[in-house]
């Protein structure tokens, strides 16, 4: 670069240029006026002429400028600076090919879809890069190769722009399209980025931009002109396809810092065109090479299949991300359109990243991400700490390995997040449970205000019995509580009135429980008692005659069969005489009053609860009745009948109970 403080006023390159060529930069867009000033600044007979006009970096490239012509141009106030147009050459190692295809030939794309290693397959996360355009700035592309799947097209060539230049067909291809006899560096990179078999983004479009000859050399001016053409081409086509997204892949570079690259790559990113660049193969600090040292380029170092840094790879703080670069197999050029070869270099790592950028563009298309956000997402998703770094490389190189399984991640434009799990597929609505199949689905029994009341049960092969069945409570039964049963819910609860339950139809077993479905208490059960009384038209019917329902308690009836038998049955309920239906019980039982102190013997007690004590009625805590009607003995309201009775306030011994005067008659309840 030209340095005013230097004794030498002539810009120079780290190595000689093929032509005495200079890049000069202006401060305005008045290119026509600058062309006129250029002509006015060169002496008569000069061979200097303009090679490129590069608006993206505000520069012109002119050849064969003598030193005094450089001085004349620098005196122009609209000329900002003058740079040497240096040579770009590929690493000779990348021009050579290992012609053996290994079993793990595609280990590179296999590695980037995993956090931990390879598994012999490649997962593209459902993002193929479709709708994205990859510009391969390189030695040209053999677009007819099978691996490029008909998705590669010609673009631009620095040495064969019109098709009539001297180098066309030998070292340069028109529109960057090359064939057998040309170096296959660019074709290999294109295949790695987007090849059908060897590539990352298998649905992206590839555009050939030849900025290096078939021999692998070119100039800074040619590379800048290629960047300019690609960015303008992408912008132009966005007018008809606003969703088009583009990325430049630049597996090239040279020593030193070169501000024109910074200007061009920065301007490209402003237009949402991302540049991916190789870090270089000098086992040195990437910050000493360009365009690797351009801050807004994505600079890529190379790794091995054993997760180490490739021995040749540049490193340091200018590296943004690492990707597979050693022994990478992809498409190459020969007489066969299916030929492949294996190469090593950061040039091979670079297109891996280019492909993932294309995938991210495609993946985030609906999110409206900018080019800068795509670059952030690329490093955000990367696998951290996977590569073994040592020596100088360990000091400043970001240990970030390329990763493309972002289908389970979310980038919100600011940070990486795990994506929420997809909602479960809703199960089809379940059929309602069959009546009688469980406690919760128990069939109502005793809905009509009649006595007796009955229900015909077509089959007991409906549900299963309760878990807390107590067989010892059941006389004449071999029922175990398991097997098929039918559930019923007693709706007609007449507190304090004895209830008989009978079941006829087959060898039945009958049980009754109290409480709620989640907390049942077995009250009574029976196997074959009804048969003994001869009241059933078939043998082995069941009878329960020891139930005295309580107010506020829910009762459930379970009808099963001997040893798991099933069949058709009729269930009948009969309350004792002089009883009437009661409303269904409340959801939770009301607490009964506890026993109070017995009154002194011989003291008259009040008439209460509507019982006609003069007529020999007593109160058992839930109803009025004679002692006979209150039998069989039950503990109700803590009274032990018939020894004790309830006087409306407490349990007292029957011998201590004094009937009130007969004249009181039947009094109102207190």
What is the residue whose two structure tokens read 């989640």?
518
Residues 6+ apart with CB under 8 A from 48: 38, 42, 62, 63, 64, 65, 66, 69
User: How far is 244 from 242, CA to CA, in rounded Å?
Assistant: 6
User: How far is 543 from 39, CA to CA, in rounded Å?
Assistant: 123
Q: 347: how many CB neighbours lie within 10 A of its CB?
A: 32
User: How far is 253 from 223, CA to CA, in rounded Å?
Assistant: 10
User: How far is 261 from 211, CA to CA, in rounded Å?
Assistant: 14
Q: Work out the angle between the directed axes of helices 259-270 and 371-381 (0-180°, nearest 10).
A: 100
Check: CB of residue 383 under 8 Å from CB of residue 400: yes
**123 catalytic per annotation:** no
**138 catalytic per annotation:** yes
> E strand or H helix at 86, and its extent?
none
User: How far is 255 from 281, CA to CA, in rounded Å?
Assistant: 11
> Could you give the dihedral angle defined by the CA atoms of residues 446, 448, 449 and 451, in that order, rounded to the nearest 10 degrees?
-60
What is the residue whose two structure tokens read 């949402």?
272
What is the residue whose two structure tokens read 């809703």?
426
* DSSP letter (8 states) at residue 552: T
Q: Which of 138, 272, 285, 509 is catalytic?
A: 138
User: How far is 135 from 251, CA to CA, in rounded Å?
Assistant: 11
Q: Work out the angle between the directed axes of helices 185-194 and 346-363 (0-180°, nearest 10).
A: 30
Q: What angle do CA 231, 237, 243 make, to 5 degrees?
A: 95
Q: Which of 17, 58, 125, 185 is catalytic?
A: 185
SS3 58: coil
Q: How far apart are the first and last CA of the chain?
A: 115
User: How far is 242 from 432, CA to CA, in rounded Å?
Assistant: 54
User: How far is 437 from 194, CA to CA, in rounded Å?
Assistant: 62
Which among 217, 230, 216 has a CA at the least distance from the CA of 134?
230
Check: CB of residue 24 under 8 Å from CB of residue 83: yes
Check: CB of residue 157 under 8 Å from CB of residue 176: yes
Check: CB of residue 486 under 8 Å from CB of residue 518: no
Q: Which of 191, 347, 477, 582 is catalytic?
A: 347
Sign of CA dihedral 166, 172, 178, 180: positive
**Residues classed as catalytic:** 138, 185, 347
């Amino acid at each position: 670069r030209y340095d005013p403080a230097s004794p030498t006023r002539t810009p120079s390159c780290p190595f000689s240029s093929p032509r005495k060529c200079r890049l000069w930069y202006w401060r305005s867009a008045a290119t026509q006026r600058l062309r006129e000033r250029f002509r006015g600044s060169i002496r008569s007979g000069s061979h200097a002429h303009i090679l490129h006009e590069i608006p993206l970096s505000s520069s012109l490239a002119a050849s064969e400028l003598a030193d005094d012509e450089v001085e004349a141009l620098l005196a122009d106030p609209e000329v900002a600076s003058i740079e040497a147009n240096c040579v770009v050459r590929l690493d000779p190692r990348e021009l050579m090919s290992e012609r053996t295809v290994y079993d793990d030939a595609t280990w590179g794309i296999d590695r980037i879809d995993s956090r931990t290693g390879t598994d012999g397959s490649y997962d593209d996360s459902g993002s193929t890069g479709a709708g994205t355009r990859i510009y391969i700035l390189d030695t040209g592309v053999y677009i007819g190769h099978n691996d490029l799947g008909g998705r590669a097209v010609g673009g631009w060539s620095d040495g064969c722009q019109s098709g009539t230049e001297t180098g066309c067909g030998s070292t340069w291809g028109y529109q960057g399209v090359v064939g057998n006899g040309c170096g296959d560096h660019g074709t290999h990179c294109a295949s790695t980025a987007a090849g059908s078999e060897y590539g990352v983004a298998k649905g992206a479009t590839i555009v050939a931009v030849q900025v290096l000859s078939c021999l692998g050399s070119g100039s800074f001016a040619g590379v800048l002109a290629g960047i300019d053409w690609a960015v303008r081409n992408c912008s132009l086509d966005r007018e008809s396809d606003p969703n088009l997204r583009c990325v430049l892949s630049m597996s090239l570079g040279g020593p030193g810092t070169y501000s024109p690259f910074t200007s061009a790559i920065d301007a490209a990113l402003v237009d949402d065109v991302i540049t991916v660049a190789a870090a270089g193969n000098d086992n040195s600090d990437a910050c000493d090479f360009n365009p690797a040292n351009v801050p807004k380029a994505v600079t890529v170092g190379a790794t091995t299949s054993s997760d180490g840094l490739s021995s040749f790879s540049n490193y340091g703080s200018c590296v943004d991300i690492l990707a597979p670069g050693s022994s990478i197999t992809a498409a190459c050029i020969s007489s066969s359109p299916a030929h492949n070869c294996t190469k090593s270099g950061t040039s091979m790592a670079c297109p891996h990243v280019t492909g993932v950028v294309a995938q991210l563009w495609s993946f985030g298309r609906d999110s409206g991400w900018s080019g800068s956000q795509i670059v952030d997402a690329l490093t955000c998703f990367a696998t951290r700490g996977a590569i073994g770094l040592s020596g100088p490389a360990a000091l400043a190189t970001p240990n970030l390995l390329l990763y493309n399984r972002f289908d389970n991640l979310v980038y919100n434009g600011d940070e990486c997040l795990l994506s929420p799990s997809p909602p479960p597929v809703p199960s089809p609505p379940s059929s309602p449970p069959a009546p009688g199949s469980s406690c919760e689905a128990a069939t109502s029994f005793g809905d009509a205000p009649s006595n007796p009341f009955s229900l015909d049960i077509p089959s007991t092969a409906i549900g299963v019995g309760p878990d807390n069945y107590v067989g010892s409570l059941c006389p004449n039964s071999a029922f175990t509580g398991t097997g098929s049963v039918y559930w019923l819910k007693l709706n007609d609860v007449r507190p304090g009135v004895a209830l008989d339950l009978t079941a006829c139809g087959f060898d039945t077993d009958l049980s009754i429980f109290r409480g709620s479905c989640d907390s049942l208490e077995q009250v009574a059960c029976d196997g074959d008692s009804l048969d003994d009384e001869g009241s059933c038209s078939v043998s082995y019917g069941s009878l329960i005659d020891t139930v005295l329902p309580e107010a506020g308690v829910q009762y459930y009836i379970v009808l099963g069969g001997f040893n798991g038998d099933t069949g058709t049955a009729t269930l009948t309920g009969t309350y004792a005489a002089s009883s009437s239906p009661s409303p269904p019980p409340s959801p939770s039982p009301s607490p009964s009053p506890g026993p109070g102190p017995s009154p002194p013997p011989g003291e008259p007690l009040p008439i209460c609860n509507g019982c006609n004590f003069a007529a020999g009625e007593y109160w058992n805590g839930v109803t009025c009745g004679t002692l006979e009607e209150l039998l069989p003995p039950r503990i109700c309201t803590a009274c032990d009948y018939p020894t004790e009775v309830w006087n409306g306030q407490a349990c007292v011994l029957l011998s201590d109970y004094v009937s009130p005067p007969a004249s009181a008659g039947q009094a109102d309840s207190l």
